Structure 1
Amino acid sequence: MIYYQVEKGGGGTMVPSVIDYLLQLPEAMHFARVQELCGDGVFFYRMLSEYGNGTFQLIEFEDDLLLILIGDYTPKDTFEKITEISEDYMEISQFETDSSSFKIGGRKKNQVDKGIYCYLNTQKKTYTYCEGGKPVRFTKVILSPKYFNTYFRLHDRNNAELLNSARDYILKNPSLPELNFVFQQIRDCQAEGHTLKIYLESKVMELLSLVVKGMEQEQKHISVKLDYKDIRNLRKTVTVMKNDLAAYPTGEELAQIAGMSTARYQLAFRKYYGTTPYEYLKELRLNQALILLKNSDYGIATIAAKVGYHNSGHFAKLFKKAYGLGPREYRNLHGIK
């Protein structure tokens, strides 16, 4: 086990700024800067071979209100990273791997699943773990409250309430096709210089607009009331879906897992997740297909079967409806045969 502790400044206090923390993070994790690939506000690093392999990219925008991180590396050894930052910020991330976990303060350790994740800084000590020998791939958007507040300046809710509502919405909907596709566009952008930053910020704005749209369409009109036990049981059914995307659980089976009648389960699921169990499972499947198409050598029919579609033609139609292009077009876009 390797330990990286980068929260302490010269005076022994927590790092006040998320940017101060991020600018020192790559070298603290044994990445070396590749100067010829760096530019104005763009920092590119490669992991030292004795510690693993892969890359880390940081894109810093003016006024320190927005940052984008792109990581793709495999550490040789399992490591624990400890951070503590006093500045408020929001992090919206897409993980393409599930080899990481974290805990905040004294809470229990949580696995990071593939898909979208959102974090609001709590100013508590955070522990991050990455397994040795397993790839870590993520794209992160770091937003300051000022940036977020500027974007929502015409909204009638206060900033703290909006931040919490946005976080809750994202955490309940980690596999939304639109959000995942925007993150792929951020990650795959080949532009340089000023054009790169214009493009990336436009994608961040698109990301936020999708979050706002989703928040406004939440199923608040559904009259069913949910307590903590109901929400915990709803999450159990989502875990069942995630554990075997090729399975076809019936509404009755899921309702039984949730300890509800089928009718109440359907209403409760829509109330909490904003969609039906069937649509939610479809989003999980299509998100996994997006990752497999890009990061594996499986044929399209095999990928379709792995995510629960034995008719590859039907899978292709669903994929195109969600992402605007078919599976083969998506692979061609990334130069994959």
Structure 2
Amino acid sequence: MENDAEKKSSSTEKSNGSYASEQGNPLYDMFVTQLTRLHTVRAKEAIARGFGQANLVRSIGETWFVDPRYGKGSYWFYLMDGDTIVVSMDITYERAVEAAIETVPYLGFGLYEHAMPEYCSPECAGSNCKLIGHDWDGGTYTSSFEPGKRLSSASITIAPEAMHRYADALRCDKEKLRRTIGRLTTSDGVPGLPSALRGLDITYPAASVADAYYHAKVIECFALLASGIPERDTTADAAHISDKDCVECICSYIDGNLSSDLSTKTLCNIAHVSEGKMISAFRNVQGDTPQRYIRARRLEHGRRLLLDGSREIGGIAKSAGYRNQGAFTDAFKRAYGTTPRAYRKRLRIE
């Protein structure tokens, strides 16, 4: 016999159809794959295993709970019309967790709070605005979370083809609406949008009205976005701003993480853009490729550290992002025509 918690979980699944009926939908499969790899468990199984909380299971959509071996918290999402997903999450990992998945193209925006912004955008992590927008071309995406940090968000994700439908409903230009989402991270925010998104977190509508509520909530959020579209907005200016924002985001991350993995793949994940978009934007703004910029920044950082005679060259090499002293020496000699040791010796003489 099922207990009350199991009955609630079971009825939730029935209200949204069986899981099998959603399989094959690209957005749905992407979310399920990510949640599975991030060590979360569907509500029915979690409750049966004793760690799911019945009061957090919503009347519609899917509620997942973090496996207690990895952390705590819950994640809820609901697929609407086959092209839109609304999300509410509040989780904390007690162990380092990382998952790489192949994603489909999508657009999304949301309210990201607590430690979440630092995993999404360097700009948003350092500002008071926690609204973040994504225009993702698809490809491999890696989620990597540190232990002990609370991650919370309320967001909306849509397939690119859904943009036409929402723009038509609001009688606005589809491309302008899309660019507004892409710029959200570096904007001053959109009045009313944080409160509207927070409703996805705090409201648990009854099953009989839940679908209507979430449809209305999505339209409300898009309407608030559309209200922030400037009257004048040329395609050329928008493309320039987009490239500039993308490069500023990447450069900010590079300069603060010179000793970390700065592969092209990693940078694409940080900025939520495709490799082609990132390289094109870098060339337009910096006149160079991202990897050449990284090499120049790492060498300059290493050169400055050599001014401190008390630091070991091997330690400087690691701080500058080189796998060993030999790799640092080779790169330094190619750039400056001398070895780090000879450069330091010359400084002492001078």
**TM-score for both structures, normalised by structure 2:** 0.51
Greater shift, 202-211 or 114-123, is seen at: 114-123
Q: Which residue type is aligned with residue 124 of structure 1? A: G
CA distance in 2, matches of 1:72, 1:40: 18
In the other structure, the counterpart of 1:201 is 215
1:96 correspondence with 2:110: no
Q: CA deviation at 1:174?
A: 5.6
Secondary structure in 2 aligned to 1:152? helix
**Maintained 8 Å contact 2:103/2:141:** no
In the other structure, the counterpart of 1:139 is 154
| Structure 1 segments (4+ residues) deviating >6 Å | none
**Maintained 8 Å contact 1:169/1:211:** no
Query: For residues 119-138 of structure 1, what are the alpha-carbon distances to aligned partners after superposition, in whole Å with 9 as ceiling and x for unaligned?
Result: 11222322222221111111
Q: How many correspondences in the alignment?
A: 208
In the other structure, the counterpart of 2:69 is 50
**Maintained 8 Å contact 2:113/2:130:** yes
In the other structure, the counterpart of 1:119 is 134
- Correspondent of 1:65 among 60, 83, 100: 83
Q: CA deviation at 1:209?
A: 0.8
Q: CA deviation at 1:65?
A: 1.4
Change (3 A) 1:110 1:128: farther
More helix by share: 2
CA distance in 1, matches of 2:184, 2:114: 18
Q: Which residue type is aligned with residue 32 of structure 2? A: L
In the other structure, the counterpart of 2:226 is 212
What does 1:164-313 align with in structure 2 at a 5 Å threshold?
A: 164-173=178-187, 175-215=189-229, 217=230
**Maintained 8 Å contact 1:40/1:193:** yes
Q: CA deviation at 1:163?
A: 5.0
Q: CA deviation at 1:116?
A: 0.9
Query: For residues 138-158 of structure 1, what are the alpha-carbon distances to aligned partners after superposition, in whole Å with 9 as ceiling and x for unaligned?
Result: 11211122322112127574x
Structure 2 portions without partners, runs of 5+:
1-23, 45-53, 253-350
**Maintained 8 Å contact 2:124/2:186:** no
Secondary structure in 2 aligned to 1:49? coil
Secondary structure in 2 aligned to 1:203? helix
**Maintained 8 Å contact 2:111/2:197:** yes
Q: CA deviation at 1:30?
A: 1.6
Secondary structure in 1 aligned to 2:109? strand
Q: CA deviation at 1:197?
A: 1.9
In the other structure, the counterpart of 1:315 is none
Q: CA deviation at 1:72?
A: 0.6
**Maintained 8 Å contact 2:172/2:226:** no
Q: Which residue type is aligned with residue 171 of structure 1? A: T
Change (3 A) 1:30 1:111: farther
- Correspondent of 2:100 among 38, 63, 82: 82
**Maintained 8 Å contact 1:102/1:111:** no
Structure 1 portions without partners, runs of 5+:
1-14, 104-108, 240-337
Change (3 A) 1:124 1:112: farther
The structure having more radius of gyration, on CA atoms, is 2
Q: Which residue type is aligned with residue 52 of structure 1? A: G
Secondary structure in 1 aligned to 2:111? strand
CA distance in 1, matches of 2:189, 2:165: 27
In the other structure, the counterpart of 1:25 is 34
Change (3 A) 1:16 1:205: closer
**TM-score for both structures, normalised by structure 1:** 0.53
